[in-house]
């Protein structure tokens, strides 16, 4: 029995050693690959699939970080870098089917217009737009030089709707009394627990938000498509449009299959010599210019919590908006002489006031050190997220 136990212990130790060494070599190879300058073709068409599920920010630890999935802000930065790359001729986009997110659509549209202003083209292809989630699918590609649509599909761009689940009736049936209190009448989150329907302030806020999103999308899509917001609204609100009708109404520019639109993009970039490169894999030659001034991009995504990592397990990620992690990154950037400014990207429903105060203080200390701090807000703006940006 003793021999058996020793053999088992030795086998287990060998397995652990094998796993540790395997991870060591894996991370070493990844590091070498990340530091090596990749080959750079002369004619590049960048590609972007809006149906892919991009997080706002790329995973920073655990196995998720090894996947190489870029964050949405990484894509915007890469697109900006590509503006000064003479090898990049244009961008080919696969449009989202069901929606892309209101704020993301607005941010991507602005990035596309800046990209075009540098002399690059943008071609988008859609396999149908189903607007139950609002106008974001169309809005995100409306600035393209050419919008292609697959024959036999439909373009359906509706207005904006919101739904709220109210639990007061359920709680009354099970004799449960929630003790969640709003500070002000427009602090609507507690209403899901305290009310059976919309209060007037809650309804007012939701209607105003929906109208604002719809009006902004109509104005910008109309500008991109060369029509008026009023005409566009009439067309879109009259119901779904088959691809052929969308072409007649000049909502899209051409009908064709994905590979045909891709071939058109390559032809515009130089024909057979052009290479298609996924935007997430693109690396600008400017990245290797060690003399360029640096702007630190520091991001937080998810609920704001105190502390740092979740324990260092390679199988799980730490809290994405942990106050120790975010504050330390800001302070490190403030102390780095090569960093000239900080962009603080926040995507959060809120969270701990204590954690928010810690992050706020780090931002203040960075400013005291002479580093400008610019905040980029994502799709959520609530509660502790505001505290960490502007404590009053």
Three-state DSSP state, 44: strand
- DSSP bridge pairs for 91: 46, 122
Q: Please tell me the predicted confidence (pLDDT) of residue 168.
A: 92
Q: Please tell me the predicted confidence (pLDDT) of residue 319.
A: 54
Q: In the predicted model, what is the mean pLDDT of the chain?
A: 85
Q: Please tell me the predicted confidence (pLDDT) of residue 259.
A: 96
- Report strand pairing: 154-156 vs 241-242: antiparallel
Q: How many CB atoms lie within 10 A of CB 163?
A: 5
- Given a cut of 50, the residues of the chain with pLDDT beneath it are 26-30, 32-35, 391-392
- Report strand pairing: 339-348 vs 373-381: parallel
Residue with tokens 């693109």: 282
Phi and psi, residue 135, nearest 5°:
-90, 10
**Among candidate residues 113, 127, 88, the one with its CA nearest the CA of residue 279:** 88
**Residue 259 neighbours by CB under 8 Å, 6+ apart:** none
Q: Is 0.85 topped by the overall pTM?
A: no
Please list the alpha-helical segments (H only) found in 256-378.
Answer: 258-268, 323-335, 353-368
Both structure tokens of 123: 């071609």
As a whole number of angstroms, the distance between CA 285 and CA 277 comes to 14
Residue with tokens 């006031």: 353
160 within 8 A of 214, measured Cβ to Cβ: yes
**Among candidate residues 296, 369, 295, the one with its CA nearest the CA of residue 326:** 296
Surface-to-core class of residue 305, CB atoms within 10 Å of its CB (0-12 exposed, 13-18 middle, 19+ buried): buried
Q: Give percent of the chain above pLDDT 70.
A: 80
Q: Please tell me the predicted confidence (pLDDT) of residue 302.
A: 86
As a whole number of angstroms, the distance between CA 158 and CA 217 comes to 11
Q: Please tell me the predicted confidence (pLDDT) of residue 389.
A: 55
Q: Please tell me the predicted confidence (pLDDT) of residue 169.
A: 93
As a whole number of angstroms, the distance between CA 133 and CA 157 comes to 9
Q: Please tell me the predicted confidence (pLDDT) of residue 307.
A: 86
Buried b (16+ CB within 10 A) or exposed e, 229-256: beebbebbeeebbebeebbebebbbebb
Q: Please tell me the predicted confidence (pLDDT) of residue 32.
A: 45
144 within 8 A of 116, measured Cβ to Cβ: no
The radius of gyration computed from the CA coordinates of the chain, to the nearest angstrom, equals 25
Q: Please tell me the predicted confidence (pLDDT) of residue 132.
A: 65
């Amino acid at each position: 029995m003793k021999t058996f136990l020793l053999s088992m212990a030795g086998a287990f130790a060998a397995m652990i050693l094998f796993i540790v060494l395997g991870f060591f070599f894996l991370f070493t190879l990844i590091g070498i690959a990340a530091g090596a300058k990749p080959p750079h073709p002369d004619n590049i068409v960048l590609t972007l699939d809006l149906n892919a599920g991009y997080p706002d920010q790329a995973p920073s630890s655990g196995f998720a970080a090894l996947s190489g999935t870029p964050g949405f802000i990484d894509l915007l930065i890469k697109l900006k870098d590509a503006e000064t790359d003479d090898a990049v001729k244009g961008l080919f986009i696969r449009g989202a089917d069901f929606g892309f997110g209101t704020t993301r659509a607005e941010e991507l549209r602005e990035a596309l217009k800046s990209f075009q202003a540098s002399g690059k083209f943008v071609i988008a292809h859609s396999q149908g737009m189903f607007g139950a989630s609002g106008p974001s699918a169309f809005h995100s590609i409306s600035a393209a030089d050419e919008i292609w649509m697959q024959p036999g599909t439909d373009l359906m761009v509706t207005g904006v709707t919101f739904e709220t689940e109210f639990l007061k009736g359920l709680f009354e049936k099970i004799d449960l009394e929630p003790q969640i209190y709003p500070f002000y009448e427009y602090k609507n989150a507690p209403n899901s627990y305290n009310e059976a329907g919309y209060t007037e302030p809650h309804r007012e806020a939701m209607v105003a938000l929906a109208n604002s999103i719809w009006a902004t999308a109509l104005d910008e899509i109309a500008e991109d498509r060369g029509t008026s917001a009023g005409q566009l609204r009439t067309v879109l609100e009259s119901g779904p449009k088959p691809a052929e009708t969308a072409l007649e109404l000049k909502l899209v520019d051409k009908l064709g299959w994905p590979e045909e639109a891709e071939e058109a993009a390559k032809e515009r970039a130089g024909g057979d010599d052009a290479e298609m490169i996924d935007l997430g894999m693109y690396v600008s030659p400017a990245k290797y210019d060690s003399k360029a001034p640096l702007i630190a991009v520091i991001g937080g995504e998810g609920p704001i919590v105190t502390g740092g990592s979740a324990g260092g397990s390679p199988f799980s990620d730490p809290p994405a908006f942990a106050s120790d992690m975010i504050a330390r990154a800001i302070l490190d950037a403030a102390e780095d002489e090569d960093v000239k400014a900080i962009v603080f990207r926040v995507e959060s429903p809120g969270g701990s006031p204590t954690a928010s105060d810690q992050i706020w203080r780090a931002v203040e200390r960075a400013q005291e050190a002479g580093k400008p701090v610019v905040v980029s807000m994502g799709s959520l703006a609530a509660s502790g997220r505001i505290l960490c940006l502007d404590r009053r």
